[in-house]
Structures are given as C-alpha cells and as structure tokens.
Structure 1
Amino acid sequence: MNDFLKTLAISVAAGGLLDLLGMFLPWLLGPMLALLLLRQFTSMTFYWPRMLRTIGLILIGVQIGSSFNREAVLLMWLDLPMMVFMTLALVGFALVLALLFRKMTGESIQTSMLGSLPGGLSQMVLLSEDIKSASTTIVTIMQTFRILLVVLVVPFFTIFLGGREGGTALILTEPEFSLPAFMAAAAGGTALYSGMKAVRFPLPEMMAPIVALAAVQSVTGTLLFEMPPILIICAQLFIGARLGLQMEQIGEKMTLRIGAAIVVNNLLLVAFAGGVAYVLSLWISSGLFIDYFLSAAPGGMAEMVLTAIEAGGDVALITGFHLFRIFFILLIAAPAIAYFIKKLDGKTEV
C-alpha cells in the first residue's frame, strides 16, 4: 500500500506540474516520464495495480466508442481503400526497417522482423516466444521503446499541426442517453470482452466497449453520452503510470548499439508515417493532415486516440484506421510472417 500511495502521489504531482506548465498530454506524459526515470536511476520501489490500467483502457474504450455514430461507421467503409493503402505501406516499410535493424545490430532476421512490425507489444512478444531463433528480450525492448518514443515524439509534433477546436470527435448530434440502449451496449461489451480474452485478442478491455458502443449507436442512430473530462484525465494517468513502470532493469539489457538502432528505426517509421499521411491529405482534400498522421503513427491505439482528443483530431476516423491495422496485422501479416520465420528456422536446422 505504501508503494502504491507513493506511486500515485508521484504520478499526480508530475501530471499536475506538466499541466501547470501547459504541456501536451500532461496526465499521460507526466507520470510516464517521472516513473520511468525514477525506476531506472533510483532504488525507490513502486507499485501500480494492473486493475487501474484496465480501468484506464475501459474508459478510453468508452470514450472512443461514444464518438461513433451511424455516419462515422459508414465513413469507415468509404475510407477502406485509404486504410488498405496506409496499412500495406506501413507494414512494408517496417519490414524494410527490420533489415536495417539487423544490419546495425547483428540480431537475427527473426528478431528484427518481430521487433519492427507495429503489431502490438503483447502479440509480438507472444509470437517471439514460439520461435526459437527470436530473442524475446530484444523484441520486448523494441516494441516497448516504440510505444515510449512515439508517445513522446508524436504528441509534441502535433502541437504544430492544425486541429479542430475543442479536440473531441466530430460529433454530428447531441448525446441522448437511453437506458435500454446503454444496457444493450454493456451486455454486448461484456460478451465481446470474454470472447476476446479467450482468443488473446490485444487490448480487449478497450476494444470491447469500442465495438459494442459503435454497434449500438449505429443501430439507434444516436450518441448515448459524452465522457466527462475528469474521467479522461484519470484514463491518461492510469495508463501513463503503467507505461513508465513497465520498462524494468532496462540498463542491464540495453546496449548502445541496440538503443541507437531502435531510435533510428522508430524515427524513420514515424517520418514515413508522416509522408503517407501527407499523401492521403492530398488524395482526400476534405481530411486534415493531423487526422491521417495520427492514424498512421505506429504507437499504441490508446495513446494516439488520447493525442487526437487533445489535439483536435477526428477520433472516429483515427480509431477506424487503427482498428483496421490491428485486424490486418493480427489476422494476416503476423501469421504470414510467423509461417515464413518458422520455414527459415526449419531450413537452418537442416
């Protein structure tokens, strides 16, 4: 309990300080940076219950899902060609970067590919555990550092981009609460969560309320409610603290060569995402560059959506692009790459 209260106090103080300084995403970046630095350079002990991260993801899922109405869901179908283009471009470039990472570090192609693919920390680490020639430690460091770097770089970059006033989704109708519709969304979200948990789908705590609320609000044609700002702050704090503490004993595992390669790898991927976003903003003149940039950014979906809320991005559009990329990578790209890697391992053994 003492470690938890200490962690909570540091997180709130760091978030409050950045908020007073007018920093971007203060309640996410403040706890994350403070705990990351204290964990690495002091002997202080911390504790952050996994339940709080879960609550944070649920809150973000509800916020995202409440941004979807019938028009937003229909727009996802219209945006499908752009989603395919963006996803294929990012996955292809990530695999090219895997070759660069291998050359810079001398790690195996299996490790380099699993670490470079922007398919989610948990899923790529689970894949690496099933492949003998892949280093789970390096894959974990690569994927975790990508999240941290993107969360640090992208929000500050979006300060200079023009967003919409208010920073929330493009809400076309006023929220209209309906108890039967809310109960249907709650029941559907619970069932989806159980199913996603059973098949180890990434971030079921966030994905289930997104899909459930989007489905119910699309059928009813109304928005059920709007998330209070204090709950969004809580979500940022809960997730930021978890991100800051998840990098354990990094100094013992990280070498200068690997660290430099990871930084170069991810900065190039972010720059490429910016290029793809620019192409799409020219292709579709009705969209803003910030929407496509946050859609293409290879960070965690939760972190990019929080950035969109703060920066004035179209939350529904950005969520749609990230959802498509998650499904594509998990259902098509990751299994295909895993099959290719296992074939390589088989040839090596022979």
Structure 2
Amino acid sequence: MKYLRLLFLVILSSIISIGLDFLGMIMPWMFGSLIATILYIRLVKNEFFFPPWLGNLGVAIMAIEIGSTLTLDALIDMKADLLNIFLMTIFVLLLSLALSRLFIYLTKSSPETAILSSVPGALSQMLIMAEEEKRADILVVTLTQMSRIVLIILIVPFVAGLFSSQGGVSEQVTEVADLSSVFEPRMLVIPLFAFILIFLLNKIHFPASLMLGPIIVMIVWNLTTGIEFSLDMALINVAQILFGVRIGLQIASLMPRLTKRMIFAILIQNLSLIFGTMLIVFVFQLFTSHAFNDLFLSAAPGGLGQIIVIAIETGGNIAMISSYHIFRIFFIIIVVVPIVGYYLKYLDKRRRTSHES
C-alpha cells in the first residue's frame, strides 16, 4: 500500500508539473512535485513513505549533470575568473555574518545561534557545529537554514528569470550530445565510482558529499576520456521530481514548528541576504562581462543542487555557477568553519572570564 501511495504522489507531481510547464512557470517539475507533496501531506496523509535513497538519487543525478559541464575548457575559464570567485565568496559571507547581528536583535538568540544560522550553503556542517555548541539553539539553526532553502526555491528562480537575457554576456558552455545518443557500457563506471566516493566522503563526515562525489567523478571522467555528454532532459526532470518531493517533505515537517516571531525574523534575515547579494552582484557586474543571471546564481546563498536546477531552467552558465558554489563550499569547510569555531570558543572564554571577575 505504501508503494501505491508513493506512485500516486509521483503521478500527481507529474500532472501538476506538466500544468505548470504549460503555464510557463520556471522550474515546473520541482515546483510541481514540491506543491504536490505539501498538499498530499497536509490534506491526505500525515505519514508518508519516501525512501531516503530516492531523494538522494535525485540529488546525485543533478550532481552528475553539474559535473558533466566541468570540462577542461570550463576549468581553464574558472582559473581565469578565480579572483572574482574569491571576492564574491568573501563579500557574500561578510554580508551573512553582518546580518547575524540583525538576527540576534529580532530573535533574542545567542551569538552562537545567529552565526550558525547565517552562514549560507553549509547546512550539514552548521548543524554539526550547533549540536556540539551548547549555547546554540539547534532548532532555530535548522529552521533558519532550511527556510532559506525554501526562499531560494521560491524567490531566486523569478529574479533569475527576469534577468536571464539581460546584462552582460552569458558565456554558455558548448552544447554536447545527450547521454542516450553516446552511451556505451564503460560509462557505467560513473555511477559506480560516484557511489564509492560518496560512501568514502560520508565516512570522514565531509559536507555535501552527495553532490561533490559525482561531481569529482565526472571531472575525472571528462579530463581522462575526453567523452563529454549532457544528461537527457527527461532524466533531469525525474531528478527534479525526486528532489522536489524531498524538499516538500522537509517543508511539511517544519511548518508546525514555526512561530509568528520566528517566521518574521527568518524572512527578514534571509530576504536581506538574498537582496543584499543582488546589490553585490550589481556592483560586480560593473567590472566584469558576465551576465547578471550568471553572476546572481553564482552568488545566491543557496544549496548547490537548488541553484543548478534554477540555472538549467533559466539558461545559465552551469559550469561557471557550479564553480563559484563549489569554491564556496570548500572555502567554508576549510576556512570559515575553523574561524567560526575559534570565534565561538573565544565568546565562551570571554563569558567565563567576565563571570569569574
């Protein structure tokens, strides 16, 4: 019976997605499955069977599509844009940390909670730190980080769509053949090695392993074989449905926990972060030839998976956008997380010193 309910939701998601696609909505397959899931959970069935591996499969498929765009030429172009990538990452992170002060004022939360809630694109790592930090409210951190994903899905596609054909030169990657037209048996090593790498990265608790594993495998494939391909759109749509159901379940689970004050604080902080990022992008565009859509999606404070889906739907430069976000993931892991950890220890030490005196 639980499998029949799952099949029903997939069919419902497909029907709503097709309708949204007919109406011209951006990201219809993700929005359709997200809407269908929330409606199903709220109106039909509170408890719903959705194996985690299905949601993970949707993310992994998108990661393979991301990796397929990171060819040798794209990596060379990334090297030429390294200064922009670094500066954009720094400014977005500084903006998010500055807004943590606003979050403290609105929620009366601790600095630990505000900082861990504010850093963008590092959900798993921030939650791990929130668990370890006694003064951090893990519920608030989770709600803020997860709600940002929801706002990214709701707002960024429309902003990106407005500028998808405006401002600057959109450096599109050269079109390559679909997977179905170039498939050969040795390509089966791609999902095999992706699974192995995801497993190994999980073992060492490496953040974003589900995205980074397939991306790394695809980069190695592109550089060693020279056989380039793009996933068929039908496969990407399936991935969006699985991903949309996954996000929809998370949204449905969070809705009962939200208070009016928390909703207001989260909206103000995350909207300020999104539109503050737009301002940074407007300034950056004065000094580069990149299209606004590409720069905005490169800087947008969301998860890699969601942003790449938006990039595909709005005709963005996937290789450029993914390179910015991958750099930010590694920068947060290698630089920001240790600094935040050190700062939180400093705050704790300063409190204990003031209490003793």
Question: Contact 2:122–2:332 at 8 Å: present in 1 too?
Answer: no
> Following superposition of structure 1 onto structure 2, how do residues 1-350 of structure 1 map, counting pairs within 5 Å?
1=2, 2-40=4-42, 44-163=46-165, 170-171=173-174, 177=182, 182=187, 185-186=190-191, 188-220=193-225, 222-285=226-289, 287-349=290-352
- How many Å apart are 1:334 and its aligned residue? 1.4
- How many Å apart are 1:108 and its aligned residue? 0.8
Give distance in 2, aligned partners of 1:341 and 1:153: 32
What is the identity percentage for the equivalent residue pairs of Structure 1 and Structure 2? 32
Give distance in 2, aligned partners of 1:51 and 1:168: 35
Give distance in 1, aligned partners of 2:15 and 2:188: 37
Question: Contact 2:121–2:302 at 8 Å: present in 1 too?
Answer: no
Change beyond 3 A, Cα 1:29–1:139: same
The 10-residue stretch of structure 1 (299-308 or 178-187) with the greater mean CA deviation from structure 2:
178-187
- How many Å apart are 1:332 and its aligned residue? 1.0
Give distance in 2, aligned partners of 1:115 and 1:206: 22
Whichever residue aligns with residue 267 of structure 1, its letter is L
Give distance in 1, aligned partners of 2:281 and 2:120: 16
Runs of 4+ in 1 over 4 A off after TM superposition: 40-43, 172-181, 183-188
Please state whether the residue corresponding to 2:69 is helix, strand or coil. Answer: coil
Change beyond 3 A, Cα 1:188–1:280: farther
Please state whether the residue corresponding to 1:283 is helix, strand or coil. Answer: coil
> Can you list the C-alpha shifts for 1:231-289, whole angstroms capped at 9, x where unaligned?
0100110001110111355354222111111111111111121122222322112x211
Give distance in 2, aligned partners of 1:172 and 1:42: 43
Please state whether the residue corresponding to 2:229 is helix, strand or coil. Answer: coil
Question: Contact 2:124–2:208 at 8 Å: present in 1 too?
Answer: no
> Can you list the C-alpha shifts for 1:186-230, whole angstroms capped at 9, x where unaligned?
56534432321112223323211211211221344x343221110
TM (norm. structure 2) is 0.89
- How many Å apart are 1:87 and its aligned residue? 0.6
Whichever residue aligns with residue 309 of structure 1, its letter is I
Change beyond 3 A, Cα 1:249–1:178: closer
> Can you list the C-alpha shifts for 1:63-85, whole angstroms capped at 9, x where unaligned?
11111221101111111101110
Change beyond 3 A, Cα 1:252–1:348: farther
- How many Å apart are 1:21 and its aligned residue? 1.9
Change beyond 3 A, Cα 1:264–1:247: same
Question: Contact 2:31–2:244 at 8 Å: present in 1 too?
Answer: yes
Change beyond 3 A, Cα 1:137–1:211: same
Consecutive unaligned residues of structure 1, counting only runs of 5 or more, are none
Give distance in 1, aligned partners of 2:252 and 2:242: 18
Change beyond 3 A, Cα 1:178–1:37: closer
Question: Contact 2:298–2:321 at 8 Å: present in 1 too?
Answer: yes
